[in-house]
Structures are given as C-alpha cells and as structure tokens.
Structure 1
C-alpha cells in the first residue's frame, strides 16, 4: 500500500486486510488490495460508492422487482423480466466462467452491501434519487450478479418475428430493405408454420423485458386497473434500432506497422447513451493481478482493457443466439403442445410480486421446454416461445471476462474464450511479446436443418445440437496484413464452407469497417494519436456514394432542377459529418428524412410494411440507388435521378425551416446533439438540480467510425461510444481513454459530468497504470480498513 495521508478512512465489515481507493483527477478509481477476495469486495464497494442508484435500479429491473418501489405501472415489466431470468443449475452456472466465479461474485456482492450499510449509518452518502422516490437500496446476493440476462445483446428472435410479418404482407425482397442476409440463403418456411399466424404482439414480452426503466408521472400514479396498459414502454422501432445500431469498433495493429514497434489496441463499444454511463473505468490491483479498463458496473472484473501483459477489446459479432418456436396445442387442451410423438404440458409457474401501495400480487409465468412463452392463441391452437442462449449456464453478459482478463498472452486469451457465452463478440488482443489476434466468441447454436431466420416448429423437428466449439469460430493470430479491425460487419472468412453450420446472417452495415480498414491500410507507422483520431472519424461512405450519383444526375439533367446554390453547396465536400459542417446538416436531412423515405415509399408502398423496415439496411439501399432496377419505373436511371434531385430540393427547404435561410450558418451539431438524460428527469422537480447532461453538439452518424446514431424524429443522438480506449501495449502509461458524461452516477459528485465536454470535443484522458503516475494524479484517497 502507498504510504500517504488518506482523505477518508473507512472501517468495513467483511474486509480482511487494509485496501485503498485512489481516484485520479478524471474520476477513474484505482483499487488496491492485499488479496483477490478483498479486491473484488472493494470493487463492489467502490461501484456502489459511485453508482449505487444505477446498481440498484439495474438489479430491480433485471430481477423483476420494480413494482415494489414504483407501483403497479411497473408490474407488467417485472412480469416480463422474470420470464428471462436464469433458472437453471447454479453449480453449472458458477463453474462456467472461471473456477473462482462464485467466490468473486460473493465478494463483489458483499462489497456492494458494505456500502449500503455505510449509507445506513451515514444517510448523507445515499444518492439523491432514493430520497426523491422514497426508496431504499436493496442488498445483493451473489447469484444476482449472474441470474439477470436481459441487459445483454443477443440476436435474432425479434428479427424472425419482424421477417415473418413482412413476408406475410410483402415478400423476401422487401424484407431485405430492413436487413440483408449474409451469407445469402433462400428463405424457406418450415412445414407446419403459418407466418400469418405470428403477430407483432409476440414481441411484446421480449420488448418489455429488455426495455430500460422509464419514469412518467402517469406511470408512477398507475393503479392495479392500469397494470396492463404499461406493456408498450418502447416503440417497435427502438427494438429494430437497438439491433442495428448498438455495436462497436475495435482494431489491433502489429508493432511492424506502428511508429514505436509496439502493438496498439483500440476499442470503443457503442451502446445507448445515458447518465450514468453504461460503462465504468476501473483499475484492479492485488498480488498476482493488475488490470485496468472498463466493464459494466454491475459485474466484477473488466471486459476491455489490459492486465500488464495482454490488452483486449471487443465488438459485437453477429452470431445468431435465439430462435422463435411455434407450437400446435391440443384440441380443447391449450396447456398441451405437440412434441415429437406426444404432448407436453406448458409449465405454468405462479410468482409473487410486491407492489407499492397494494397487497402482493400473484402472476403466472409460462414456459415450454425451449423457453418463455411469448404469445398464446387458443382459437388458433397456437403457442409461440423464444429459445435463447440466455437460458444456458454461462451466458451472463460479459462474465466470461473473469477468465479472459487474467490471460497473460494472446494464445492464453484465445483458450480462455471457451468460457465466453454472451454477448457474441469479436475480441482483439495484443501482448507484450508482440503478438496480436482476433477471436470471435459466444455460444453459437448448431442448427442442423435450418438457418435461424424464420420461426420454426417446436415439435422437436428443429432442435439445437449443442453449441459450436469455441475453436471452430473464426479467429486469426498475427494476420498477414499487420492489423485486424472489426465494426460489426459480416466478417466470416471467405473460404468458410457453405455447408458449415450457420453462425449468423444479420450484420451491421459495412461503412464503418471499410473506412477503418482503409485508414489502417494506408498507415504504416500507426500511433495512439492516429487511433484516437480514427475513433472520432466522421467520414461518411454513404455521403460519398450518394453525392457521386448526384453529380452524375446533375450532369445529365442540369443543376437548375435542384437550384444552383444547392448543387454548389455540395460541390467539393469531403464527406465528413463534422459538428460544425453546414453541408453535413444538409446531407443527413436529405438522406434520412427525404431520400431514404422516398426509397421506402417506392419499394414498399404499404405503410404497414414500411413501419417494419425503419431505419433500413444502408448497404441494400445504397445498392438500389447505384444499380436502379425496374422497381424505380422506366427508364430506371432517369427515375432514380429525378428522385435524387427532387428529394435534395425538398431537403434544402427543410434545412431552411430548421436552421434558417442562410446556409452558411447551418451546422450539423445544431441538429445533431447528445443529451445524456437521467431516467428520473421527466418527473424530477427543479429544486434537486439538473441531472441531465447536455445537449452537446457532435458529428458523425450511424455510418461513420465515430458512430453517433440519432432519433429520426429530431436528430438527437441516442447511441454511440460512451467509453473509448486506446492502449499502447507495453508502455501502459501512454494509453488513453474517455468515458461520458463522467465516471460517477451521483449528481453531487465532481465526476458526474466532468468528461462530457472532452468527450464531445474528441479529447481523451490518460489511462494511468503505474503507482508513480497514479499517486501524482490522485484527487481523492480512501483508506479501507477491516472493521
């Protein structure tokens, strides 16, 4: 332990030996303990110190305990969440991640509880949200860390139901406007399944279980009569966008292509923006283990960062981890469904729910052998259920990190990924010996007779044959190109056999990946500064491709049709969506509010179908523009040109209404801004102070490496990189990071919003690792002693 005077000294029951927390001036806590049990105890204690309201809300949401604090308006969400809890063998669960998982989670939960005990003794420490809502933090059990699954990203159950509805109303070609299928396969409806019988209502339970917690005055005031009016807490479009826009970038560059000769690793996961941030930077140090990076505050360990020997980062990989099953029920006995040569009973389970202001309520949960029941229609003798890897031991989100984060080399890291269940990810890794690697990981069901793109019968004819062995998922060590980059694109090896088991067929658009790989290919002396710039890169490939078509259309038709000043505005643009760019504002308004809707209207004339396609598959839409077919009309190229010019003129007028008549004063960041909205902000009184952070003007879009997805209604940024890491492998103190809006979730903390301006401006802060550097930048020192 470093011998300096502590700003605070705390005596904690459950701590075995002295430990310390050093918070640097950017809010990053550096935790040091004399043994690993104390270390994870301190991690839980410190997470609660900074994020207790967030931890408590996540736990209650995941376990289905919200109604006890917030009333009947949350009972339907509790009911939904309970369907997706892990209910299997806990011995198998504990052994799935690492040999000491149970001990780690026990220490972590004990640490959280120690801070709750401290708050009871010193109420001034309790976050303001508890007094505002009149609630109290609940104590954690070790199994709470692993049983909750619904905050993880899996796919593609919702997509299967959407596809079934689109195919009922239109055709497979129309569904490609929503998401293309790679590798391509011909869709085949399984015998015994009628797609018209699969309603969008079958999505409701899943949507509700995975939705964030929202607070509205009407919801908080709901009575028991209103319980089932609060089942649509999120729009269908939110589910579609979450699938298509929450991803990540990462890359690793071999020392042969860097200016220092050391590898560089960069990772910036993209998720929904909120305050506090989804991620939490932390440094964990005990004898034999010294790791720094980020994870989710509700989980022990880190999932991105380094351990002094190896660095690691991740992005989402498009493995298909869900299937929708359709069952025939027995005539007159709707609780029995056909399975193989007989009938099985739906397992119905009563559970008790506490409800604020009311007596406890008892609700029924329903499961088939494959998973939770999503929908029942006795008239059609139909039941629909979801099978997910969530129900298997070892699929708590990111808990595979408990093995991976302790790997001393790229080779050992790859071996550790046998323990990685969810989410399915692209890992990049680099070690101090100069090795770099890419490993895909995640439980990937083996489907022997279908591709996982449409609902299938639950009668036993379509069963998973286990999971693909981790070693059979794509991976590369020391790639010939000298670097490897991923951005959620389709990156299955080109030489993978078409007869090999399905891994996945739905991926993010390729724009970000192509841009990142292009920049890295051209850079033979890469640096950490270059990696930071690339993480913030706002080059838009769609802008370049569409503007090239526009120039050709103007050449054929003349600029007069779109007005000279509009054409002149776009001429010579570098296709960068910077926050201060007036042309970026015009392009994004044109592309997303006028040209894209015009394409949907042309190719999907049914409004009900169009509602299921938004935001659309960018690669498919761009291909339609570049290669117009008969669906544009005859002649197709002329019809396409007319659409380009007319929608651009409309977009110019739209920008004038939104931003004023002087185009030189337009700016993308005026429309496109990040507001980090506190969950309670819609019901909070001003007297408690401002809990939202922003708005902050930002550049980029969903198609740029610096991803900044936005709501189509008003351009507010909803998802992107909250945390960014750039790691100099071997010279650890020369690594950089940023989190936003700040490290702390307590509005009273100086670290609640202190990183937001830096983040929006593309700045980073040091990711300090050595004791000497940390001591020099310590802003707050907490000494922890056994009680």
Structure 2
C-alpha cells in the first residue's frame, strides 16, 4: 500500500459488537471467569486465580481497544511499514533505535516478583481474543478492515521492550538551550527557561552549541504518535511546544481534615486527547488480588486506583533522565567516533523492516557506547547520540505498577517505588488505617561533573556514574499539615541535597500547585464534593497576578482602554462563557509573550526561542528591572498596554465588535479525534470523532485545558479523574473520556464525554454487591475442554 486512501462513512456501518449471550470458550484460560460491564462501561473481572485475572484483562483489553493497542505495539516495535507501506520505514527505523536491547532476565527481575509471568498471561489473553475474532471475522474492528490488515500476535517481551512513549523529554530542552546559547548567549536562555532550585548552568567544556536544526528529527520520529495521511514526522521545534503542555494533579487529605473522617485521595493525570482515550478503567478480582483503577490498555494491572487497602495516584516528577552527546567522527573512517584518545567503532545493528507491497528495507541502527545515534554529518564530521535511562532494565513506562498496586502498607509501597523506573513520578498514598503520604520515584542518573542541562561532548569527559539509590529520593508520611499535593511543580523538600544529586532543574509553572494548596489549606473538613469541585476549578492565579498589574493603568488608545475595563473587573475564573477569559487567553497566548520578548531580548535571541517561560514572564512584569533597561516601569507598561490593545483588536476579528457576545468556550473546545481522522471523509469523521465540547480553563488552571495557540483547540488535559473515599470504596467517583470502548458502535464509545466536560462523575463501584447491581453486560469465559 503506497498511499492511504480517504475512507467514507459507509464503510463504517455495521461494525459488530461481541455477543454475551453464550459463554465463550477460550483456550488458555484455566477456570471459568466473568466480566461484568457496568452502566459506565467499566469491566469488573472475576477470576479464580491471578493468572486468569491477567489473562482475562488482556482478553478484555483487546475486546474494547484492539486497534489502539495494536497500533501502539507496531509503533513502538517499529513495524508500521509492514501494514502501512514505505512512508513509515523511517519511523520504524527510528523506533527500533530506542527499544530495550538488554538481557531479559535482568529486565523482568527489575519489576519485582512474577513480572514475566504476569506479562505472559496478559498477552496470552490478547492473543486469545485475536484468535476469537479470527473465528468470528465480523468482530474485527473496522480500522483493520478499512486499512486492509489483521492484528498481530503479542510476545510477553513486547509489553516491556517499548520505551519511546515514556514522558521523559529533557533532551529537547537541552537542544532548545543550545540553540539559544548558539545564537544569543547563555544569559538569554534565562528568559526561555527558569531553573529551580536556583542554579547557574555553564556551557560544557569542549561543546560547540551550534547544532543543526534537524538534529532531533530522528528522535521525533521515534517518539511521536502514528500519523495518517501526511508525512509521519513533525519538526523538532514543534515538538518542544507540546511537551510543555503535559501535567497532572494529585493530592491526598488526612482523616483529621475530611468530612468523612477517612482519607480522600484525588488524581487527574493530564495527557493528549484522542478517541479512544489513553486511559482505561478496569477492576481485577481474584484470590489475593482485588484492584480497581485506570491504566493504559496495553499494560497489565492499574497505575492509579486502589486495592481495597491502599490507594495511589500519580503525577510527573521531573527527574532528568536524558543526555545528548556530541561526537567528533573520524574523517578517514565515518564508522568511528572519538572517545578519549582513540577512535571507537560505532556498534552497527542491521535489521530488515518489512514493507507492505515491497521487498523488505534493510536498515542500519548505529550506537555509541552511550546510546543510539540520531544524527551524523559526514561533512562536518560530527555525530549525535542519546544516553537515556530508558535503555536500563526496569524502565518500561508504567509497567512497574504491577508491583506497587499490591502493596498493603506504606513501607511496602515505598519499597516498590524505590524500584520504580519510568515515568518519573510523584505518588500520593492513602490507606484504610488513616495514613497518607507522598513518594517520589524514578531512575535518576548520577552526573558527577555536570548538571545535564546542555548537550555534552561524547569523548569521555562527561560520564554517568550509575543511578541514584531509589531510597534516597524524597518521601513524606503523615505530613503535619494534614494533606499533601503535587502538580508537577518543583517540590523537593527543604534540606534535600539537590546540588549533590542534581535530579533536575526544569519544572512546570507552579500556579496549579499554589491554587490546590490554597484551597486545601482553607478547607478544614473536605468532602468528596469539595475535591471534585477542586479538580474542575478554573481559577487562574497567573491571570490574577497580571490583572493586578493592569488595574492601575490607563490608556488613550480605545482598544487598550476597553480591554483594561473588561479585565480589571474580572475575577480570573476562566469559565467557558466568560468574555474576559477569552480576551485574556488571546492576550496571553498570542500577544503578551511576543511583546515581552521584543522588549527584553535582542533580535537574535527573539528568533532563537518560541516563547518566554511563563514564570519568568510574569515575575519580570511584576518586578521590572535590568531586563527592561532604563525607565523599566514605563517600558513594562508599554508592553502591557500595546499587547493588550492588539489582543482586543484580534477578539473583535474573532468574535465581533460586541464584547457582550464573546465567550472563551466559542474559541476553546475539546475535540477527541480518532487517529484515522486525516484519511476519513466528513461523514466518517462524525462517526468516530467526539466533540467539539466548549471548555473553560487554561494551561495554568487546576482543570488544565492547554491548547495550541494557532487554533485554541484543547490539546491536553485530564485524561481521567478519580476521587477515592478510602475505606468506603463504593463512594469513590471517577470519569474517563470520551468513553471506555474503542468501538464507535459501542454505547460506551462516547457516553462519558459530556459528563466529563460538565465536571460530573460516576461511582467507581468496588464491592461485588454494588457491581452486580450496576452490571449491564455479563461476559462469561470458560476454558476449552
């Protein structure tokens, strides 16, 4: 297949749903098992053994999400061209560079007991469902039929060898910093990025920071999603913007500060949106195992939820796990690079990439002693390679949750987190004994003589010295304040030896964390409803800080005067129906940063970076100083008023001259797109895409609603929300979006989207009695005699 043709709606009609009328005979199952699907599409799996529970989890994941997990597997293993054609050879080659290639016995051992067995049972279940639809081809998801291929069988190793979907992206920040340093000097980078804790970085000895613009193209191919209908690689700089949009919130409240007298744990991880959802909620019940929550459908277990005794929820904790190495290559032999005082050969792995409709493509994968080579310039005799913790044993993203989800108390939970690899996490914890806590986890490289903030020469001067002992990462048990929260902010505790360990210095803006802390500290007896409201909170503390700067100002210009009047009366709550929120976000995302850069940076520095750091921007406006030069306050006010007037003029273009008709939700909305959208016609898209749904909030509200400034469409946000009533589990609440199923014909494909958009939840039922009462579908599985 050399091209993917546009697919029409008629081809989607008649997609079958699995029938539950008769027990399904399934080879590989040891004893009968049941799947009870509740009103909201959550499968509750009851099995006679843990082996069977993970088998049925895999079977059920394939039942609901087969195309999604097959696509993820092919992307991660580098097997896209075999079904989509030659346009994907380069992406396959790039993906293979980042596969785990170490010893599998060390890999399995890194996750604790029974990891290999759990993975084997899980993929056996996936494969059993693939066999089932081979016998009943009417059940084959429409995507396979329209794209003309069938799902592949899985190996246990497939679950853990794929590493390129982890949320570790310091590499691109190193590249962005080098770009600014090359064109404008290190001082200019302080506008692009804020380092925390306070830190002064230096250009590493021997580094030429002027790297080629396409240096990260291979890395981008390896880590991006599958894209249909257009070239499957995006520019490296575009990728940098998307990374800043990732985030999550979690918090836990002690019994002394809740209305229930029990701990409450809340979590809403923020990820990119699509149909179907990234997250999948599932309940696994078997002797010695009774866990419920959300995870990724291609993995066994759950990463967020509870096990009847212990509850857990995660956000990203920004450990720097990547480094970009720059090498001199041998002018006389391009197969060699300089290391110390000698030339070393690249390690070359040759593989055949299967290509649909063509002979296999033979590709070379090159590696240095540090990692995969992503760029080589034969003219300038330079090469770039990536050293990443990804390639170490135990680094399959989220797979380690099969260890901590079984913990029965805080010491067990902490020990599991000491082994945790990726992604780097803040885990909040609560148990039925009333304890609450926080544990940071993730594999942290030890860099004895540099900070990891810029690329370094690969000649041996900058070497990792293993990894930090996980027991040295910070944790808190039963904090005195009675609660703990994280929102990706810099949260290293006072006294942590950050100069010694150098975990990382690049963290998201702390506005969400400050808002959560402000609400929790003023809520002496938090209820479940309070926590749900906080997850849906759209108050922007950053907006309030900027409004405070506007209130004393005046302007002779009509546009700026009108904008001042509207924003000065605003409370900073970014409701979907708010005119002020619409004006503010247009000002913030399209005008203020640009005006600030022009005022404080040289033309070269302005061109070298996309946007100023939000924290730096606001702090500089609040306390104008050296950056603005002489008469700093006047120049600061000019930046505010000029950019504000331009934003008002743009709002008139976008929504008309009458501000009474302006609404943020008319510009800003959620749209859950199926990955095949680019090759579907309009009618077909209507069947598989969900939305648009008007949205409030912004990138710095607790209810995160990050967007691309060119369109205002929501790009990232809460992929799943949960509020757990620890000990009264049936009173817990959750929501997924747009639905649990990946089948557009299923009633559970889009049924949760409106509730999610409106801040509503459903009961996350746990007791057998409550589950039986809410069951709407029963799927019985029996072994083949």
In the superposition, the TM-score normalised over structure 1's length comes to: 0.95
Q: 1:164 & 1:432 partners in 2: Cα distance?
A: 49
Q: 2:550 & 2:182 partners in 1: Cα distance?
A: 35
Query: How big is the shift at 1:417?
Result: 1.1
**Alpha carbons 1:161, 1:200 under 8 Å: kept:** no
Q: 1:617 & 1:154 partners in 2: Cα distance?
A: 19
Task: List alignment gaps of at least 5 residues for structure 1.
Answer: 220-229
Give 1:561-580 correspondences, 5 Å limit.
562=559, 564-580=561-577
Work out which of the residue numbers 124, 137, 140 in structure 2 matches 1:123: 137
Q: 1:458 & 1:749 partners in 2: Cα distance?
A: 53
Give 1:370-385 correspondences, 5 Å limit.
370-385=370-385
What is the match of residue 525 of structure 1? Answer: 525
What is the match of residue 344 of structure 1? Answer: 344
1:590 partnered with 2:587: yes
Query: How big is the shift at 1:235?
Result: 3.5
Q: 1:426 & 1:413 partners in 2: Cα distance?
A: 13
> Structure 1: which 4+ aligned runs deviate by more than 6 Å?
none
**Alpha carbons 2:560, 2:642 under 8 Å: kept:** no
**Partner of 2:240: helix, strand, or coil?**
helix
Q: 1:777 & 1:262 partners in 2: Cα distance?
A: 25
**Alpha carbons 1:177, 1:613 under 8 Å: kept:** no
What is the match of residue 226 of structure 1? Answer: none
What is the match of residue 424 of structure 1? Answer: 424
**Partner of 1:584: helix, strand, or coil?**
helix
After superposing the two structures, state which structure 1 stretch, 48-57 or 376-385, moved more. 376-385
Q: Deviations over 1:471-515 (max 9, x none)?
A: 111111111111110000011122223542110010000111111
Q: 2:751 & 2:651 partners in 1: Cα distance?
A: 33
Q: Deviations over 1:322-364 (max 9, x none)?
A: 0111122234122222223433210111110111111111011
Give 1:165-564 correspondences, 5 Å limit.
165-196=179-210, 198-216=211-229, 219=230, 230=231, 233-497=233-497, 499-554=499-554, 562=559, 564=561
Give 1:701-780 correspondences, 5 Å limit.
701-780=698-777
**Alpha carbons 1:85, 1:149 under 8 Å: kept:** yes
Q: 2:180 & 2:284 partners in 1: Cα distance?
A: 49
Query: How big is the shift at 1:468?
Result: 0.9
**Alpha carbons 2:550, 2:568 under 8 Å: kept:** no
Query: How big is the shift at 1:590?
Result: 1.2
What is the match of residue 78 of structure 2? Answer: 64
Q: 2:268 & 2:56 partners in 1: Cα distance?
A: 26
Q: 1:35 & 1:691 partners in 2: Cα distance?
A: 37
**Alpha carbons 1:561, 1:645 under 8 Å: kept:** no
Work out which of the residue numbers 62, 66, 73 in structure 1 matches 2:87: 73
What is the match of residue 3 of structure 2? Answer: none
Q: 1:126 & 1:432 partners in 2: Cα distance?
A: 43
Q: 1:79 & 1:16 partners in 2: Cα distance?
A: 39
- Cα 1:535/1:430, change in 2 over 3 Å: same
Q: 2:633 & 2:181 partners in 1: Cα distance?
A: 28
**Alpha carbons 1:299, 1:399 under 8 Å: kept:** yes
- Cα 1:193/1:567, change in 2 over 3 Å: closer
- Cα 1:238/1:266, change in 2 over 3 Å: farther
Query: How big is the shift at 1:410?
Result: 2.0
What is the match of residue 154 of structure 2? Answer: 140
What is the match of residue 224 of structure 1? Answer: none
**Alpha carbons 2:265, 2:313 under 8 Å: kept:** yes
Q: Deviations over 1:175-206 (max 9, x none)?
A: 2222211123222222222112x223221111
1:626 partnered with 2:622: yes
What is the match of residue 667 of structure 1? Answer: 663
What is the match of residue 227 of structure 1? Answer: none
Query: How big is the shift at 1:616?
Result: 3.4
- Cα 1:52/1:704, change in 2 over 3 Å: same
- Cα 1:382/1:511, change in 2 over 3 Å: same
After superposing the two structures, state which structure 1 stretch, 237-246 or 635-644, moved more. 237-246
Q: 1:381 & 1:234 partners in 2: Cα distance?
A: 26
What is the match of residue 6 of structure 2? Answer: none
Task: List alignment gaps of at least 5 residues for structure 2.
Answer: 1-18
After superposing the two structures, state which structure 1 stretch, 496-505 or 406-415, moved more. 496-505
**Alpha carbons 1:8, 1:781 under 8 Å: kept:** no
Q: 1:207 & 1:685 partners in 2: Cα distance?
A: 28
**Alpha carbons 1:628, 1:637 under 8 Å: kept:** yes
**Partner of 1:102: helix, strand, or coil?**
helix
Query: How big is the shift at 1:602?
Result: 2.4
**Partner of 2:446: helix, strand, or coil?**
strand
Query: How big is the shift at 1:573?
Result: 1.4
Query: How big is the shift at 1:564?
Result: 4.8
**Partner of 1:500: helix, strand, or coil?**
helix
Q: 1:319 & 1:40 partners in 2: Cα distance?
A: 31
**Alpha carbons 2:559, 2:649 under 8 Å: kept:** no
Q: 2:185 & 2:683 partners in 1: Cα distance?
A: 55
Q: 2:607 & 2:739 partners in 1: Cα distance?
A: 36
- Cα 1:537/1:148, change in 2 over 3 Å: same
**Alpha carbons 1:562, 1:646 under 8 Å: kept:** no
Q: 2:191 & 2:635 partners in 1: Cα distance?
A: 19
Q: 2:427 & 2:748 partners in 1: Cα distance?
A: 30
**Alpha carbons 1:540, 1:577 under 8 Å: kept:** yes
Q: Deviations over 1:613-667 (max 9, x none)?
A: 3343110010111112244353111111122122212211211111122211111
Q: Deviations over 1:733-756 (max 9, x none)?
A: 010110100011111111000000
- Cα 1:571/1:454, change in 2 over 3 Å: closer
After superposing the two structures, state which structure 1 stretch, 82-91 or 454-463, moved more. 454-463
1:42 partnered with 2:82: no
Q: Deviations over 1:565-587 (max 9, x none)?
A: 43332233110111111110011
**Partner of 2:677: helix, strand, or coil?**
coil
Q: 1:668 & 1:285 partners in 2: Cα distance?
A: 44
**Alpha carbons 2:376, 2:382 under 8 Å: kept:** yes
Work out which of the residue numbers 2, 10, 24 in structure 2 matches 1:10: 24
Q: 2:129 & 2:474 partners in 1: Cα distance?
A: 43
Q: 2:55 & 2:330 partners in 1: Cα distance?
A: 52
Work out which of the residue numbers 647, 655, 677 in structure 2 matches 1:681: 677
Q: 1:562 & 1:632 partners in 2: Cα distance?
A: 24
- Cα 1:561/1:624, change in 2 over 3 Å: farther
**Partner of 1:143: helix, strand, or coil?**
helix
Give 1:632-643 correspondences, 5 Å limit.
632-643=628-639
Q: Deviations over 1:101-141 (max 9, x none)?
A: 11111011110011111111111111111111111101101
In the superposition, the TM-score normalised over structure 2's length comes to: 0.95
- Cα 1:614/1:533, change in 2 over 3 Å: farther
Q: 2:489 & 2:243 partners in 1: Cα distance?
A: 13
- Give the total of aligned pairs: 765
Q: Deviations over 1:413-452 (max 9, x none)?
A: 1111122100001000001111111000000001111100
Q: 1:745 & 1:285 partners in 2: Cα distance?
A: 23
**Alpha carbons 1:403, 1:419 under 8 Å: kept:** no
